[in-house]
Amino acid sequence: MTEKEKVIVSNKGLVRAEFNFWVGRYMDKFYDGLEQKKLIGNKCSKCGAVFCPPRSVCGKCNENLPLDQNWVDLPETGTLQNYTITHYKVADRRTRTVKDPQLIAMVQIDGTNTAIVNRLLNMTPEEIKIGIKVRVDWSEKTTGAPSDINGFIKV
Amino acid sequence: MEKVGIVGFNQVKLYSDANYGRYEMIFEAVRGAIDKAGLKKKDITTVISCTNDYYDGRTISNCWTVEVGGGYLADESKCEMDGAHAVLYGLMRILSGNHKLAVIWGGSMPSCYPYHSARLYETDPTWERPLGYVNDITAGGFQMRAYMEKFGVSKEEIARIAVKNRKNAAKNPLALAESQNANITVQDVLNSDVYSDPVTELMVAQPCDGVAALLLAPERQALKITDNPVWITGVGYSQDTYYLGERDLSVSKSMEIASKTALNAAGIKNPKNEIDVAELFEAYAHEELIFTEALGLAEKGKAASFNSEINGELAINPSGGAIGGNPPCATGLIRIIEAAKQLRGEANGYQVKGAKKAIASGQIGMCAQNNILFVLEGNV
């Protein structure tokens, strides 16, 4: 059977089932911080690990991080831990590629034990090196959403 | 552990865009396994289906696979992970003492849906998913770079694994045609398009259409069904943390724990000497090296110099592995089937001589968050 002879039923969906996720009490605080262009995290009182974004539970210790305790104000600077470069936009790899590849990095914010993933901006692939210092590039108008962090730029 | 035997299996040919429906494919795999073992529908006492609602485009998707999967008015339930996890579920059903024959099948048809979008639904919807920067494509790039940076491993050394598996796949008639590359070179792999730097397209286990089925039975029953059962002598699995930024991606802690548990259960002290063949679910070439180290077959960072060819120190992925074709929900199940084929001496064209003990692994999640390892032994 050739591709032309195949009958394809493409179902765009009669049902719209979109989720409105509530981010939860911890991420509520975090997003309030982003809106003011501030990064915050929280600390496990048992092992001392600092999480950014904050967590309600430390998986390693299986301990709750109380909502009203151990919040840490964090700087907007961090260390580049890892990176990758890709032309692919995720929705459909075959058709969705970008002309200029995206530089995606893992950045460990200073004073934390975890890394966050976001774009590297105004950098060429040759400039990227593991271990360099970067800082948050904030969106001009913040709204208390993940997109408040535009990406990371070289310090 | 009471002995449980693999008494039959069947896998359909893998295609990047199969010219038949997924339900026909499931029937071909399951009915084929039953027929080959000389059994009938009435012999099936439990069925474990392995699919994914997002990949099937419907919820509780096993509601529609009942007839084709041999589950009609039978004890049937579903595992929504890798096919290898479904084998663990089937094993537990047999060990409950209530079942004489378990059918385990798994598979999917990614030619019908945007695979990478479906995988994006794995990510945290309240933080990572809205931006889309964490996804299964970028995760592969992060993992390979972490491994290279930590241990100073070169791209060429990693490309050699893709070459080995693609050459092995050329000997396996059921592998994906696009992965059967008998004359491929390291340069071909390095020169292929960038997937997510440093990963190139030919280092990736391409998602493809395919279904596989496996039959399990308790010892007494197994010996009635076949003279050549393959025994499950150990199993271990482990789940790593979700956030990539919290994990050391240059190693696989979950595989280390899974292998310790499984090898211990099977009484294997030195896997390098005691295991004859390994079939590992490597989503990318570099993962095979990371797993080789996690299994204790090579020191950290040194797996590239371990000879894992069919006639090497210990054959890894003689069938071509997942790089030879990666049908979601079937890939780990196929690793177990390929290991069983080796132990039964049925791996025509890529048989490891005199294979007596094997290991086979499955995985799920970004950067192989969860790993499961089986130890199998032939009926000697």
ipTM comes to 0.93
Tens digits of residue pLDDT in B125-180: 999 999 999 999 999 999 999 999 999 999 999 999 999 999 999 999 999 999 99
CA distance A11 to chain B (A): 9
A93 to chain B: closest CA residue: B116
In a domain, A4, yes or no: no
How far is Cα B339 from Cα B168, in angstroms, rounded to an integer? Answer: 14
Query: Superfamily for B4-112+209-225?
Result: Thiolase/Chalcone synthase (3.40.47.10)
What pLDDT band is residue A101 in, cutting at 50, 70 and 90?
confident
How far is Cα B313 from Cα B305, in angstroms, rounded to an integer? Answer: 11
Q: Report pLDDT for B98.
A: 95
Return the structure tokens found at B112.
């019908």
Taking an 8 Å cut-off on Cβ atoms, the answer to whether B146 and A82 are in contact is: yes
What pLDDT band is residue A19 in, cutting at 50, 70 and 90?
confident
Taking an 8 Å cut-off on Cβ atoms, the answer to whether A11 and B134 are in contact is: no
B117 to chain A: closest CA residue: A91
Check pLDDT > 90 for residue A99. no
- Residue A13: burial class (beta carbons within 10 Å; 0-12, 13-18, 19+): exposed
Q: Average pLDDT of A10-38?
A: 88
> Which DSSP symbol is given to B174?
T
> Which DSSP symbol is given to B237?
E
> Which DSSP symbol is given to B134?
S
Whether the CB-CB separation of A56 and B130 falls below 8 Å is answered with no
In a domain, A101, yes or no: yes
> Which DSSP symbol is given to B371?
E
Taking an 8 Å cut-off on Cβ atoms, the answer to whether A84 and B138 are in contact is: yes
Taking each helix axis as running N to C, give the angle between helix B155-169 and helix B136-151, from 0 to 180 degrees, rounded to the nearest 10: 120
Name which of A55, A152, A140, A70 is nearest A109 in CA terms.
A152
Total domains, chain A: 1
The string over B351-378, giving b where at least 16 C-beta atoms fall within 10 Å of a residue's C-beta and e elsewhere, is bbeebebbbbbbbbbbbbbbbbbbbbbb
pTM over 0.90: yes
How far is Cα B327 from Cα B345, in angstroms, rounded to an integer? Answer: 24
B-chain residues near A91 (CB < 8 A): 114, 116-117
Q: Report pLDDT for A1.
A: 54
Q: Report pLDDT for B274.
A: 98
Say what percent of chain A tops pLDDT 70: 91
For residue B110, the SS3 value is helix
**Which residue from B125, B127, B138 is facing A19, i.e. has the nearest CB?**
B125
Q: Report pLDDT for B114.
A: 87
Whether the CB-CB separation of B228 and B341 falls below 8 Å is answered with no
**Which residue from A59, A84, A145 is facing B145, i.e. has the nearest CB?**
A84
Element counts in chain A: helices (H) and strands (E): 1, 10
What pLDDT band is residue A3 in, cutting at 50, 70 and 90?
low
> How many other β-carbons are positioned within 10 Å of the β-carbon of residue B255?
28
Taking an 8 Å cut-off on Cβ atoms, the answer to whether A59 and B131 are in contact is: no
E strands, chain A, in order = 39-43, 50-51, 57-58, 63-64, 71-74, 77-88, 97-109, 115-119, 133-138, 149-154
Check pLDDT > 70 for residue A2. no
Return the structure tokens found at B17.
């865009």
**Which residue from A23, A90, A104 is facing B126, i.e. has the nearest CB?**
A23
CA distance B370 to chain A (A): 15
CA B261 remoteness from chain centre: 18
For residue A72, the SS3 value is strand
pLDDT tens track of chain B, all 380 residues? 789 999 999 999 999 999 988 999 999 999 999 999 999 999 999 999 999 999 988 889 999 999 999 999 999 999 999 999 999 999 999 999 999 999 999 999 999 988 998 899 999 999 999 999 999 999 999 999 999 999 999 999 999 999 999 999 999 999 999 999 999 999 999 999 999 999 999 999 999 999 999 999 999 999 999 999 999 999 999 999 999 999 999 999 999 999 999 999 999 999 999 999 999 999 999 999 999 999 999 999 999 999 999 999 999 999 999 999 999 999 999 999 999 999 999 999 999 999 999 999 999 999 999 999 999 999 97
Q: Which domain holds residue A118?
A: 24-154
For CA atoms B268, B269, B271, B276, give the dihedral sign.
Answer: negative
In a domain, A73, yes or no: yes
Check pLDDT > 80 for residue A12. no
Taking an 8 Å cut-off on Cβ atoms, the answer to whether B194 and A85 are in contact is: yes
Q: Report pLDDT for A89.
A: 79
* Helix or strand run (H / E) with residue B120: helix B115-120
> Which DSSP symbol is given to B54?
H
Return the structure tokens found at A3.
């591709």
What residues of A are in the B interface, CB distance below 8 Å? Answer: 1, 3, 6, 11, 19, 21-24, 27, 53, 59-60, 81-93, 101-102, 104, 106, 108, 113-119, 125, 130, 145-147
B17 to chain A: closest CA residue: A3
Tens digits of residue pLDDT in B197-251: 999 999 999 999 999 999 999 999 999 999 999 999 999 999 999 999 999 999 9
In a domain, A115, yes or no: yes
Question: How long is chain B?
Answer: 380
Name which of B356, B349, B360 is nearest B214 in CA terms.
B360
Return the structure tokens found at B152.
């100073």
CA distance B66 to chain A (A): 22
Partnered with residue B363 across adjacent β-strands are B371
Phi, psi of B254 (to 5 degrees): -65, -35
Q: Which residue has the tokens 């975090």?
A: A30
A-chain residues near B133 (CB < 8 A): 102, 104, 117-119
How far is Cα B378 from Cα B356, in angstroms, rounded to an integer? Answer: 5
How far is Cα B250 from Cα A106, in angstroms, rounded to an integer? Answer: 14
